[in-house]
């Protein structure tokens, strides 16, 4: 099948393009920010990911496998967020050799990585004031944060209800979009970041 000679699409790349487990929630929020900006301007785009199945429930935009991108498929690469520790040998970067390559919201570490891009809009660069991270500009709707404090197994009580309570709470929260944080109140517990009663109270 012949490829179109007129290309107006953008490829969006980032750590989700080269690592299956190297990206963070912030990387995906930054993706939302850039995607919103492009859609408002009616610019078509797709996201280059390392594994489509890995991101099927995390990314709602059109996706392509990064290792299948063809130079004729798009005209601009936008690489976003994170340390700019990529080089000319990075496969996705090499595909766009000779085409505009933009790094947006990145940390320029090491500085010579900037040479692989035509335009670098740095989040932070040595010796310069930093910019607000792209993830903070996301319009993703906030969800409730639910703090969970379980009593834990207590042999003093004749009826061990805690497993039942955990099941009921788990099933109820599973029907709603929320962020669940389990809070330990036993003191002291080795490995807990919060070590005093006052610190525990702040966590509530």
What pTM, to 2 d.p., does this model score?
Answer: 0.73
Q: Indicate the SS3 state at residue 177.
A: coil
Cβ atoms 110, 125 nearer than 8 A: no
Give 200's pLDDT tier (boundaries 50, 70, 90): low
* Concatenated DSSP letters of 90-146: SHHHHHTTTS-EEEEEEE-SSGGGGGG-SEEEEEE-TTS-----GGGG--PPP--EE
User: Smallest Cα–Cα separation from 94: which of 127, 110, 71, 76?
Assistant: 71
Q: Is the pLDDT of residue 52 over 80?
A: yes
Domain 10-137 class?
A: alpha beta
Which tens digits make up the pLDDT trace of 123-179?
Answer: 988 888 889 999 999 988 888 999 898 877 777 777 778 888 889 999 999 999 999
CA–CA separation, 106 and 116 (whole Å): 13
Top-ranked range on mean pLDDT: pick from 15-19, 27-31, 151-155: 27-31
Cα separations in angstroms, 9 against 12, 32, 37, 68, 82: 10, 17, 14, 15, 23
* Residue 3, pLDDT above cutoff 70: no
The residue extents of the domains of the chain are 10-137, 145-203
Residue 134: per-residue pLDDT: 93
Per cent of the chain over pLDDT 90 is: 32
């Amino acid at each position: 099948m012949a490829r179109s000679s007129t290309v107006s699409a953008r490829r969006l790349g980032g750590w989700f393009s080269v690592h299956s487990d190297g990206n963070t929630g912030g990387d995906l929020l930054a993706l939302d920010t850039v995607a919103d900006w492009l859609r408002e301007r009616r610019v078509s785009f797709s996201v280059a990911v390392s594994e489509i199945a890995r991101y099927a429930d995390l990314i709602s935009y059109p996706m392509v496998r990064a290792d299948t991108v063809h130079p004729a498929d798009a005209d601009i690469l936008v690489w976003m967020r994170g340390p700019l520790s990529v080089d000319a040998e990075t496969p996705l970067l090499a595909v766009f050799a000779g085409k505009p390559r933009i790094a947006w919201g990145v940390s320029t570490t090491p500085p010579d990585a900037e040479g692989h891009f035509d335009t670098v809009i740095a989040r932070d660069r040595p010796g310069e004031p930093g910019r607000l991270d792209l993830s903070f500009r996301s319009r993703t709707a906030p969800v409730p944060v639910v703090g969970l404090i379980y009593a834990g197994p207590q042999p003093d009580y004749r009826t061990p209800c805690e497993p039942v309570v955990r099941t009921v709470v788990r099933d109820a929260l599973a029907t709603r979009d929320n962020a669940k944080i389990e809070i330990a109140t036993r003191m002291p517990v080795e490995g807990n970041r919060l070590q005093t009663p006052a610190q525990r109270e702040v966590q509530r």
